[in-house]
Amino acid sequence: MSESQPRRRAARPAPNPGLAPDDPLRVFSERLRKIDGLDDLARAYPGREISIGRQRQQLEFYSDPDRPNAFAMVALEFFLVIAQYYREALPLRLILLLIAGQRAGGRIPLTQDDMAQILDVPRQKVNESLREIMSHGIVIKIGRGVYQFNPPYSYVAAELVRLSDGTTEYVQVDQADALAELRAAALPDLVRFPSLQHMREAIEEFRKERARQRRERRERFEAMTTQKEGDR
């Protein structure tokens, strides 16, 4: 019969010194205590200065009595595509101005002189950029000094109109009605049935061209480096 082996005692854990009684970090290991009033709060933290801010306000949006619904619905994909497509600032600035200038139904009562004055650029530059924008079906011309934003890209549904007698009238135009009116008109398919596909294809072609140019520059650099090493 084998002799019984003495039982091994479990190793004692290393002593944990813990935090000092006045260490601020002790608050994270303590249970939350109910505070009944500011006096209790002041007594709990005697070395702290207590201040009370104003009541939290609800999220506010820009609006005023003349424009209670001063917002335009804009397709996020439209923003993404034009940000990649346009390499110059003026067309993008002009598109933002046209979005901001919309009335109910997407009509934009701005002349090119107005646009040039607001953007502080020559009228000729505005004309060139506006033609470029219109060629993609983003905006169409309705009449002299009146344009229409293509509803699927950006649209303003309603506005408060001040009449000549001083009263106001709430005007609302459904997007479906605006689209039906456009599609009934003799307009290019790019406007009647808008699509950003042609701009996406142009972006892809531009990227391929940039990649080809970078590849050619890299090959020329490598050839020059090889030639210099051979001449040594």
CA 60 to chain centre: 17
User: Across residues 129-145, what is the average pLDDT?
Assistant: 92
> For residue 61, which of 52, 76, 71 has the smallest C-alpha distance?
71
Residue 131 pLDDT greater than 80, yes or no: yes
Q: Taken in order 84, 89, 94, 96, is the CA torsion positive or negative?
A: positive
Reported as type and span, the H/E element at residue 168 is strand 168-172
Residue 183 pLDDT greater than 90, yes or no: no
Per-residue pLDDT tens for 163-174? 788 787 777 888
For residue 144, give the amino acid letter: R
**What pLDDT is attached to residue 23?**
62
**What pLDDT is attached to residue 27?**
56
**What pLDDT is attached to residue 141?**
92
CA distance linking residue 142 with residue 138, whole number of Å: 13
**What pLDDT is attached to residue 222?**
86
Lowest-pLDDT range of 62-71, 160-169, 217-226: 62-71
Own/partner contacts of 33-39, CB < 8 Å, gap of 24 or more, are: none
For residue 161, give the amino acid letter: V
Residue 232 pLDDT greater than 90, yes or no: no
Ranges of H-type helices in the chain: 38-44, 76-85, 89-100, 112-119, 123-135, 175-184, 189-192, 197-231
Lowest-pLDDT range of 43-47, 85-89, 149-153, 196-200: 43-47
**Predicted TM-score (pTM) of this structure:** 0.63
Structure tokens at 2: 């084998």
Mean pLDDT of the residues in the chain: 80
Pick the CATH number of 73-198 from 3.40.190.10, 1.10.10.10, 2.60.40.10, 2.40.50.140: 1.10.10.10
Residue 88 pLDDT greater than 80, yes or no: yes
Angle of CA points 159, 133, 113, to nearest 5°: 65
Lowest-pLDDT range of 139-143, 169-173, 177-181: 169-173
**What pLDDT is attached to residue 115?**
95
**What pLDDT is attached to residue 165?**
82
Contact 25, 19 (CB under 8 A): yes
Report helix, strand and coil shares of the chain as percent, to nearest 5.
Answer: 45, 10, 45
**What pLDDT is attached to residue 120?**
94
Q: Taken in order 83, 85, 89, 93, is the CA torsion positive or negative?
A: negative
